[in-house]
Amino acid sequence: MKRIAPVTMALLGGALLLIGCAREAEEKRRIETELRVLQCEAGRWAGADDFLPRLFLDHAQEPVVRRRAALAMGRIGQPAFLATLQQGLSATDAELRAASLLAIGEILDAENMGLYDAAPNPSVMDAIHRCLADPAAIVRARAVEALGKTGRLEFLPPPAAIAPDPGQLNEETQQFYAREWIKAAVRVEQAAAVPAMIRLLPSPVGGTAGRMLARLARRRSLVLNLPAGLLSRLLVSPDPLVRSGGLDLAPLVQSPPDAPTLSALLADPDHGVRVHALGALGRLKTTAAAAAIIRHGESILARSELKGSVRHAYLWKELEAAVDALGRAGDPSGYTAVRRWMTVDGFLAARGFQALVAGDPATAMPLLMDVAPLSDQASALHWIQAAAASQDPAALAWLRGLEQGQCPNGWHADWVASARPFYVSRLLGATPGEPTEVLRLLADPDPFVQAATLDWLREKVPALDAKQTEAVCRLVAKGLNGDAADPLIAAVPLLPRAGETGRNLLIRLLSSRYYPVRLRAARTLKQMGEADPFARIVPMPTAPEDFFRNFLKRGRYGCQVEIRTNKGSFFLELFRNDAPLTCMNFLSLAGERYFDGIMIHRVVPDFVVQAGCPLGTGNGGPGQLIPCEVNTLVYDRGMVGMALSGRDTGGSQFFVTLSPQPHLDGGYTIFARVSGGLEVVNNLIEGDRIEGIEIFWDIPWEEKRPLRI
């Protein structure tokens, strides 16, 4: 074997060193570019010297960098970016054209355009329509998605022109286009799309078609005409998603299946299918269907798995679904069964009261002494929500007692305090002629009570009196530097009624610490005739550069998140490249032990498990709002998304999907997926708790222990 000369070794070592240095320099440039993009996204602006548009239009940049700039502009959402993004539609790179359309769709989103009080530009709409003939399926799919996000029927071409061919769905890109077309047709409520969607039911996208078609039919009160035998084939499909979709459609067809046919699916091996079967039976609204639901509920109550201190989650959630279905069925025998089940368990009693009110708002409110004890916050919250929705005078009197401090035996005062925002409007609606009650609630220290009162004023009181106007202005002035966005968001539409004082407050709100407040203030000023108020919005404050840089440098290393609950642990894989700001926020809150002890406050069978609210009601948050980071990921089973009350209103609440939810795609930031322990997620019910969250970084020179970024 020949020996390598020392000179050759030196040259080889030098070459390797140069390669390593070049790679390190390239990685540093990538991190610094991404850092600037993140600062723009967090600050909700284009950057100094229009950094994002310049980066996007710089043809010397790699396509991946230009795509990232496009995504950032779409997330920020300023309509002024549309002209820049439109230039990307003529790019030679199909993925860049698709990214441009994704960003354009985010800006044209109906909610976003409403925030800017803007209308779609005809030139942009024409450019999107031309992309419907693009040779790349992904570009056509993003074009359809963008048209659907406008929420306007006139922008989506008729199905004959763009509906997918069921016989041409062998490739994944073709299926992707088909799913995006289905979602777009439902978003704009295109009734003419129904026949084409029906033809897709037996196709590879049949699960999406079934669920979304049912949503469209319910929204438009449509009766569906399915080909003979098609529904029967859907209900026996080997795919549980298709069976569930068929059950969603069953009550909406011209000749619905009878109760025995649907009740046979209550023995389906898939939990989700059984839940959908209960829903379908409830929507039949027949005595036979109610009887089938009752039998199933009684069989669950007889199971030994429901005995003891630990409830069997699947059975318990099916029992909840049965209660909801009986409320929807509207049959007297069903109401009788619900009242009987309300004596079994406190949470079931609360859900039963909600079901009774949903079926008949005038139903008599049961006495707490006649039902099982409500021994936890989740049960108390559902009971209060049911009382607020009830039209029974006894329920109103009971709510007034709560407001006066009459806490039921065994209840904690903080349960009632956290639930007050849910019944404020009911109290105000019963006494519209008592302005002192409004003034009292506007001065309440609870920001969510304030917000509920302001919402009621906006919806129910066409003209505020002098004292109410003064109280609203005082609330806004006091909240300018506060830690709650909800009252400010609710107050903005009322400020024009306060004349010059209201205008001045709106101008001050342009520099609010909450970006959604700034946008709403600017929109209102624009509607009042103010010249270009959006130009007066300054960039939002952002985290220090080193915070972003540290996070980005860790991007090359693995990160595992363990969420410990009283039912066991499940694990998350964070999508740090797809939703970096959301991941930073989540990791920071977890590192501060923010989530420790927080309740699982919402569980909807076969839909979501939701947590992260410190109040346990769905209203609370950490005191800051983070931007939405819509991306190309979709809501399959086990995906983790941010809960919102509007664009850019995320904070600490997150949810895990229990089954695919295509209607959520493109609307809620996906930032993680459950990588292990999904059975633990499935076993969670309302009232369970997060015990702690641990973060493990796979960094060689650091100990394998929880670390904060």
| Residue whose token pair is 């499909």 | 237
Q: What is the DSSP letter of 253?
A: B
CATH number for the 435-536 domain, one of 1.10.10, 3.10.20, 1.25.10, 3.30.70? 1.25.10
- Rounded distance between C-alpha atoms, residue 45 and residue 34, angstroms: 15
Phi-psi region of 561 (alpha: psi -120 to 50; beta: other; left: phi over 0): beta
pLDDT per position as a tens digit, 649-658: 999 999 999 9
Q: Where in the chain is the domain with CATH 1.25.10?
A: 6-155, 435-536
Q: Give the count of beta carbons closer than 10 Å to the beta carbon of residue 164.
A: 26
How does pLDDT run across 612-629, given as a tens digit for each residue? Answer: 999 999 999 999 999 999
Query: CA 207 to CA 204: how far, in whole Å?
Result: 8
What is the DSSP code string of 371-420?
S----SHHHHHHHHHHHHH---HHHHHHHHHHHTT-PPTT--HHHHHHHG
Number of CB atoms found within 10 A of residue 114's CB: 13
Helix (H) or strand (E) holding 641: strand 639-642
What CATH architecture does domain 545-698 belong to? Beta Barrel (2.40)
For residue 707, the model assigns a pLDDT of: 42
Handedness of CA 86, 88, 89, 90 (dihedral sign): positive
- Give dist(CA 570, CA 24) in Å, integer: 36
Dihedrals φ, ψ of 672, to 5°?
-165, 170
Residue 600 amino acid letter: I
Residues of the chain with pLDDT under 50: 1, 704-709
Report whether 362 contacts 318 (CB < 8 A): no
| pLDDT the model gives residue 305 | 78
Query: Quick one: pLDDT at residue 19?
Result: 62
Reading the block at residue 120, the tokens are 């779609």
pLDDT value, residue 708: 45
Neighbours of 482 (CB within 10 A): 16
DSSP label at 257? P
Residue limits of CATH 2.40.100.10 in the chain: 545-698
Predicted local confidence at residue 2, as pLDDT = 55
Please provide the size of the chain in residues.
709
Residue-wise pLDDT tens digits, 490-533: 999 999 999 999 999 999 999 999 999 999 999 999 999 999 99
Fold of 6-155: Leucine-rich Repeat Variant (1.25.10)
pTM tops 0.85: yes
Per-residue pLDDT, 17: 62
- Those residues whose C-beta lies under 8 Å from the C-beta of residue 483, and which sit 6 or more positions away, are 623
pLDDT of residue 555: 86
Q: Which helix (H) or strand (E) holds 299?
A: helix 287-301
